[in-house]
Structure 1
C-alpha cells in the first residue's frame, strides 16, 4: 500500500527529503531514483517521488505512467498539490513534473501561494525523493538547498567525474549547504575496485580544493539488463530482482533510508516552503 494524504486528526509522520542529482546527463540518475524508491518502499517506507527535472520530466515515462495533472497545474492554480499525487503499482507515489516548475525562480506571489496553499494536506510519508535535472542550474541548486541529503551520481567516465566535481564545487560555494550531507554514488562500474578508485580520486580533489570530503554511499555495477528495463518502461528491480545490480541498488537504498542523525522536516510542506520560499 502506497503512502499518501491522510485524513484530519491523523498524526503527521516525520519526512526525510533526499535529492538525487548529477553533474551531467546520461549517468542513470532517474533510473536510480525510481529503483531506489521502489527498494525503500519494499523495505517498509512510505515513499513519494517528485520529478524536479526542469522541462525534461521523465520519471513517469520510466514507469509507463501518463499523468493527467502535473505540478504545472498547481503553479497555475488549477489543482492543489494533494490532487496531483499519483499512486503507482510499485508501492510508492509520484508527483509528475511539468514545464511549469521551470518557472520556479520567477514565480510571482500569486503563483507561489498557489503552490504553498494546502501543502499540509500531504503527509504520511517517510521519505521524499527528488529527481533533479542534471547540471548546476539555479533550480537544481534550489532543490539541493531544500533537501536534507543529496546524492551525486557519477560514472567512471572522465567527463562525468569532471562534471560531478563541478556540481560539488557549486553546492559547497553556497554557505547554506556547509555541513549538509553530500553522498556519492558511482554507477556503471566494472568492479568494486574501480568504484573505490573513482570515489577516492573524487574525494581527494574535493578535500584538497574544497576542504570537504564526500561520503561514498555505494556503487552499482554495469548491467545491460538495466537498459532493457528502461526500454520496457518497467523498473529494473521489478524485471530483474535477482541481478547483482539490483542487489547493489537495494543495499544503497537501505543505507539511504537510515535517517538517523538527519534533521528531518515535519512534512512535504516544510520541504516545499524551503524550496519556494514562504513569501
Structure 2
C-alpha cells in the first residue's frame, strides 16, 4: 500500500477537495484507493462527499471497533475512513490512542493507495503523517498568507528529515502564475533547506469547484470536461509515476515511522 499525505500550511486552500478528486482520478486507473481523514478533530472528507457515517475513527480510538469495521465504500470508486468532527480529544491523540489506530492499519489489505487528508498547519499529528508517508503533497494558493504558511510546513518537515516533497498550486490565475509561485517556493527550499520540492501541476481558479462543494459531489464527476478537472487528472498521473513498488513493505515503513520505531 502506497501512502500519500495531502497537507497545507493554511486552511481554506482546497486541500480536502483536491484529496478527494485526486483519489478518484487514481482509482480510475484501476488502483484500489482508501482515504483516511487525518484531520482528526475537524473531519471534512465525509461532509464533502455528502456521507453521514454511522461509525468513525472515534470508535476505533475508544476500542469499540477496528479500522476494517468502519471502512465505508462510496459511489465514487474510493473507500473512506471517516474522522469525527467536533470531538476535541481527537485533535491531539495520545501515544496509546495513536498506536491503536495505526496498528489497525496493518489489518487492512487489498488497497494500492492510502491517501491521508491531514489538518492544516504544523501540529504534531500533521507533521507525523507527513514524515511517515511515502509521498507528501503540499497544497497552496497564490495568496501571500498561503505561500507563507506553505513555506512554514515545508521548513518544519525538512528540519526533521530531508525528504522529497511535492507541491500543487490551487486557484491559480494562469499557468505562468502557478509556475512563478512554484519557482519561488522551490528556490527558497533549495537554498535554505535540505530537501527537494517538485511541482506536480496547478489547478485554475474555477467557480465550478465551489459549486461541486456546495452540491457535496466530486468535481471530477460533475464537471469532467472543465479545465480544472483536466489539471487534477494530470496531477494525479504525475503522482502515480514511480509509485508501483513493494506495496506491502511500503505500508510497513509508514507504520514504523509513524509510531517512532
- TM-score higher than 0.5: yes
1:268, 1:84 → 2: CA distance? 19
- RMSD of aligned alpha carbons: 2.0
Map of 2:227 onto structure 1: 244
SS in 2 for 1:242: coil
Q: Deviations over 1:228-250 (max 9, x none)?
A: 00000001001100101000000
**Residue 83 of structure 1: aligned partner:** 69
Is this contact kept in 2: 1:19–1:149, CA < 8 A?
A: yes
In the alignment, does 2:50 pair up with 1:67?
A: no
What's the CA shift string for 1:1-55, capped at 9, x where partnerless?
A: xxxxxxxxxxxxxx11001000000110000000000111111110000000131
CA distance in 2, matches of 1:113, 1:216: 33
2:155 is equivalent to residue 169 of structure 1: yes
Q: Given the alignment, which residue of 21, 27, 34 partners 2:7? A: 21
Shift of 1:213: 3.5
Structure 1 runs, 4 residues or longer, greater than 6 Å off? none
Structure 1 position 61, deviation (Å): 0.3
Using the size of structure 2 for normalisation, the TM-score is: 0.92
What residue in structure 2 maps to residue 134 of structure 1?
120
Residue of structure 2 aligned with 1:32, choices 3, 15, 18: 18
Q: TM-score, normalised by structure 1?
A: 0.86
CA distance in 1, matches of 2:234, 2:134: 20
Per the TM alignment, residue 101 of structure 1 is displaced from its structure 2 partner at its CA by 3.8
Aligned ranges 1:1-279 → 2 under 5 Å: 15-98=1-84, 99=87, 101-104=90-93, 106-108=94-96, 111=97, 114-115=100-101, 118-174=104-160, 177-178=161-162, 180-260=163-243, 264-266=247-249, 268=251, 271-277=254-260
Structure 1 gaps of 5+ residues are: 1-14
Shift of 1:262: 6.6
